[in-house]
Structure 1
Amino acid sequence: MLKRQPVEKKPISPAWDPWDAWYTRSEKSFYELTSVEFTVTNLCNLRCEHCAVGEALVEKEGSPLPVDQLIRRLDEVETLQTLSITGGEPVLHPRVVNETIRPLLRYAKERGIYTQLNSNLTLPLSRYEDWIEDLDVLHISYNYRDAHDFYRIAFQKYGKEVSLSAAETLFERMKENARTLSKNGVFVSAESLLSPFTAQHIVKMHRDIAEMGCRRHEVHPLYPSDFAKGMTLLTLDEYRSTILRLLDGRDPNVWILFGTLPFFPCSDKQEDLDLWLRLHREENVTVRQDPDGRNRLNINAFTGDVIVTDFGDVPPLGNMMHDRLTEIFHRWLEHPVAKKHHCFCREAHCAGPNILVSHAYYRDWDFTTRKAKAEVRV
């Protein structure tokens, strides 16, 4: 491992979201690799109906690549700022925690890199306590009103019988874990995927997230991938009205981050432009420019395959066993799919669409030929 002087990290806030692709693109006029995500397991104790990686989940899996190999590739990326860890449920298997997660977090901490781990937070609190201090963001999913919703959603695709009481135990543990960790200073960020079901109850879900002590509420579209492919998506009109209800009913002390937002400042509809401007004027509300393929790559820690996102349909771009990550990233920037979606409007504070959102809602649009009709001052 190369010896570097750690960079002092600014606190994560609405004014500084190090995963956002906007900063590098606006400052340097090009994209560079600042973020890497590792898929460290395909095991999970849940099978959520909306899971965008559900078809990759397994009952048993082999050994991951040695963590030293992962770190050597990270060491080659001089521009690295953030490291994300996802699955499956990364914390499910103690071996993954001890042999992969903890060394990666220690490496990132020594180098001054921001870290995030995605967990369903349903495991006993002791499974998190001995490494959580090295983590910057604990990312959880929250798409439920109560234990009955959790039972239906989390075990929809499970394939074997699970009792309601068992589901209730996991649901209550998740909420209590979030409260305890938040009280102890952990930055817990809860994500909700907007679907025809969650849209009806999003204000209540937001209030529950605030009660759990989460500092941030991330709101994303339902991604039509894997388990979620057959689910009904919100129309854009439904999505817009849901956002407006959430803005009107939100807890102003909780940061709301809209990720992969399916509205753009080059829209032909005035209501879309009005929404875009409101989102950029509201206190404690941000719109994150999509990191996937703009400043981030995902690495499968078992095969070494490198892809644009952990739930996209673009085939692997290379393999970390024989390719440098920066070479793979530049290869992606020349890919026709990247060129189709990598538009940029500085005045409108927009770096274009997420690929899945584009395919779901804007198949007929060529974003590279459109012009922004709204100007944002940030």
Structure 2
Amino acid sequence: MTREGSTMMTQWSMQQRDPWDPWFNRSEKGKYELTSVEFTVTQLCNLRCEHCAVGEMLVTEEGVSISVEKLIQRLEEVETLTTLSITGGEPILNPKVVKETITPLLRYARSRGIYTQLNSNLTLPLNRYQGWIEDLDVLHISWNYRDAADFHRIAFEKYGRDVTPKAAAVLFDRMMDNARALSEQGVFVSAETLLSPFTAPYLTGMHQAIVEMGCARHEVHPLYPSDFARGMDLISLDTFRETITALLDKRDPSIWLLFGTLPFYPCSENPADRELWLRLHQEKNITVRHDPDGRNRLNVNVFNGEVIVTDFGDVPPLGNIQTDRLDTIFDRWLEHEASKRLHCFCPEARCTGPNLLVADAYYPDTDFQKRRAVITIDY
């Protein structure tokens, strides 16, 4: 992979070999290695979205962070590192976090040739995204709205006090304007839609809005039943399949479409699942990303140092960066019962198995270790 050249070259490079996808490491090395680290750098957020998978962790007052020097020290120990992700909360809400944690981490990653992603709701003034974003590879946003009314209901569902529709509309418009402006500046903006009973019927319209904002990529993922989203209904597998098929039929072929943590697999007994898997691997500008969580990534909480396998899962902390190396913690995870249960691998079909939350939600009684792909992908 190369990080040189224009945004389009970076997009092409990442699309050909998505650096967050554990498929490449597993297929080439014959094992999973720690290639990705995600830092939760804040627990503050100006929104309280109903679908937030870390909502119960959000606070109203920032804690004291572990020094960025300590974080970088632990990254230095990971020789296999290729990607770094930054998440929250809203990472850029606190200027101190941007200055003392985010900017040094991004500059360290660039000096080492590591791809970076930052998750933001993009609702803050545009100037808050200047001065550091030139060191970022992917600006990741959520897009689960048809209009300002949707945003008002969804983003402030758990806020705890009334927010006027007018105030919400200001943030919604700013989010769209920021996405357009940053995309025009050459920033790689990737917009993610979580499929739920609310978003599924309107996915193609949301896709068109993402295209009109100039985003480089549209990501489609399941709704993760965690934290605030734990009580939300999941769509059925049939509805999920029908929704994706409709999007494929009506998508803008010029934009990169990424499907992550899909609940469909090449070992399925359902022919429709297998046909969809084949189509997703045959059409241009479409990729299927296998789940980094639990295969090549760990999440670090910069306030208490705890390391978990995902920032919205139920697996208890596996270690602490105050005392443990990250690669040691990752080796510990590979011996975990949950890891062994899900780490199946079918190279002929380009599949590394299910996501932990998705498997528990849709396939609670399925032993994926006893299944095998019945189709082959040419790649």
TM-score (norm 2): 0.97
1:240, distance to aligned residue in structure 2 (A): 0.2
Query: In structure 2, what is the equivalent of residue 116 of structure 1?
Result: 117
Query: In structure 1, what is the equivalent of residue 240 of structure 2?
Result: 239
SS in 2 for 1:281: coil
1:8, distance to aligned residue in structure 2 (A): 4.4
Query: In structure 1, what is the equivalent of residue 161 of structure 2?
Result: 160
Query: In structure 2, what is the equivalent of residue 223 of structure 1?
Result: 224
Query: In structure 1, what is the equivalent of residue 283 of structure 2?
Result: 282
Query: In structure 1, what is the equivalent of residue 178 of structure 2?
Result: 177
Superposition pairs of residues 120-269 of structure 1, within 5 angstroms: 120-269=121-270
Separation in 2 of the partners of 1:346 and 1:62? 44
Identity across aligned pairs (percent)? Answer: 67
1:374, distance to aligned residue in structure 2 (A): 1.2
Residues 122 and 175 in structure 2, CA contact (< 8 A), matched pair in contact too: yes
Superposition pairs of residues 15-164 of structure 1, within 5 angstroms: 15-164=16-165
The one-letter code matched in structure 2 to 1:312 is: G
Separation in 2 of the partners of 1:50 and 1:372? 32
Query: In structure 2, what is the equivalent of residue 345 of structure 1?
Result: 346
Separation in 2 of the partners of 1:93 and 1:371? 48
Separation in 2 of the partners of 1:24 and 1:252? 28
Structure 2 stretches lacking a partner, 5+ long = 5-9
SS in 1 for 2:249: helix
* Cα distance per residue 1:186-210 (max 9 Å; x no partner): 0000000000010010000000000
SS in 1 for 2:175: helix
Residues 119 and 139 in structure 1, CA contact (< 8 A), matched pair in contact too: yes
Count of residues in correspondence between the two structures:
372
* Cα distance per residue 1:51-80 (max 9 Å; x no partner): 000000011121110000000000000110
Residues 12 and 18 in structure 1, CA contact (< 8 A), matched pair in contact too: no
Separation in 2 of the partners of 1:271 and 1:119? 35
Residues 143 and 192 in structure 1, CA contact (< 8 A), matched pair in contact too: yes
* Cα distance per residue 1:159-214 (max 9 Å; x no partner): 01111111000000000000000001000000000000100100000000000000
Query: In structure 1, what is the equivalent of residue 3 of structure 2?
Result: 9
Residues 44 and 89 in structure 1, CA contact (< 8 A), matched pair in contact too: yes
Residues 120 and 139 in structure 2, CA contact (< 8 A), matched pair in contact too: yes
Query: In structure 1, what is the equivalent of residue 310 of structure 2?
Result: 309
Structure 1 stretches lacking a partner, 5+ long = 1-6
Separation in 2 of the partners of 1:103 and 1:194? 34
Separation in 1 of the partners of 2:195 and 2:41? 26
1:9, distance to aligned residue in structure 2 (A): 2.9
Separation in 2 of the partners of 1:307 and 1:254? 33
1:306, distance to aligned residue in structure 2 (A): 0.2
The one-letter code matched in structure 1 to 2:33 is: E
Separation in 1 of the partners of 2:227 and 2:2? 39
SS in 2 for 1:372: coil
SS in 2 for 1:246: helix
SS in 1 for 2:347: coil
Separation in 2 of the partners of 1:250 and 1:330? 41
Separation in 2 of the partners of 1:376 and 1:327? 34
1:221, distance to aligned residue in structure 2 (A): 0.2
1:12, distance to aligned residue in structure 2 (A): 3.7
SS in 2 for 1:180: helix
Separation in 2 of the partners of 1:195 and 1:256? 18
Query: In structure 1, what is the equivalent of residue 333 of structure 2?
Result: 332
* Cα distance per residue 1:301-335 (max 9 Å; x no partner): 10000000000000000000000000000000010
